[in-house]
Structures are given as structure tokens and as C-alpha cells.
């Protein structure tokens, strides 16, 4: 079935970087954009950015410009989100989500299970 499987939980120190992976299966990897969304503990969802697995183009939320990098590896159907200069406020669950297939263009129809990133000294 269509699914996105993310890498495991991470614990990082302030100032470090983290790289989270999201492996797609069950559909043509290059057919749908992938988004990244995060959720701090007890807080709401926050959109971080988008990557086009077909052409590698990206668009990041202004808040994360200069700190986030999204890449993809078509040979393994995997996208990556790297966040640098981590601070405690970056402690959150990070989700990847797929752009909707077919008519569901401007929504996120498949989500990964989430990756908890904890930033602590």
C-alpha cells in the first residue's frame, strides 16, 4: 500500500544539525510533491516546506529559510529534511506528507508516522 516511513527518533544538542528521512513506497515516487510539517509538544501543526522529487526544486517557509534543506534520492525513493543550528524550540515531531494524488492536488493525503527530534543540552 501507499506509505511513507520515516527514520527514528533523534536527540541532538543545541547548535547541531539533524537529518530526517522519509521513504516512499506503493506509488511512483516522482509523481507527487513531498511536504514537511512539524508539531511541537502540545502545539499545532507548522508547515516547513516542499520538495519536488521529480526535479529537486524546493520552497521553504520563510521562518526556516537558511536553516532547512530538503533533498531527495530517486534511487531509493527517499526524501530528506535537514535542519541546522538547532535550538530547544525545534523540539518537535517532524512529519513528511505527500501531495494528494489525482484530484487531491492541494492537500496532504498520506503522512509518515512522524519522527521525534529532541534538542537538549
Binding of another protein at residue 57 (CB under 8 A)?
Answer: no
Report in angstroms how near the CB of residue 121 gets to another protein at its nearest: 26
Among 18, 34, 112, 119, binds another protein (CB under 8 A): 112
Query: Distance of CA 4 to CAs 18, 23, 63, 87, Å?
Result: 19, 5, 25, 27
Report in angstroms how near the CB of residue 109 gets to another protein at its nearest: 5
Binding of another protein at residue 117 (CB under 8 A)?
Answer: no
Instruction: Name the residue nearer to another protein (CB basis): 16 or 56.
Output: 56
**Burial class of residue 12 in the structure, from the number of CB atoms within 10 Å of its CB (0-12 exposed, 13-18 middle, 19+ buried):** middle
Amino acid at each position: 500500500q501507499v506509505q511513507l516511513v520515516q527514520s527514528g527518533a533523534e536527540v541532538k544538542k543545541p547548535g547541531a544539525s539533524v537529518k530526517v528521512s522519509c521513504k516512499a513506497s506503493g506509488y511512483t515516487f516522482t509523481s507527487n510533491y513531498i511536504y514537511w510539517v512539524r508539531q511541537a509538544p502540545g502545539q499545532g501543526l507548522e508547515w516547513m516546506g516542499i520538495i519536488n522529487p521529480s526535479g529537486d526544486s524546493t520552497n521553504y517557509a520563510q521562518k526556516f529559510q537558511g536553516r532547512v534543506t530538503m533533498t531527495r534520492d530517486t534511487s531509493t525513493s527517499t526524501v530528506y529534511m535537514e535542519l541546522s543550528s538547532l535550538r530547544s524550540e525545534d523540539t518537535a515531531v517532524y512529519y513528511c506528507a505527500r501531495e494528494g494524488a489525482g484530484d487531491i492536488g492541494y492537500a496532504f493525503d498520506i503522512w509518515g508516522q512522524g519522527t521525534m527530534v529532541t534538542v537538549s543540552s
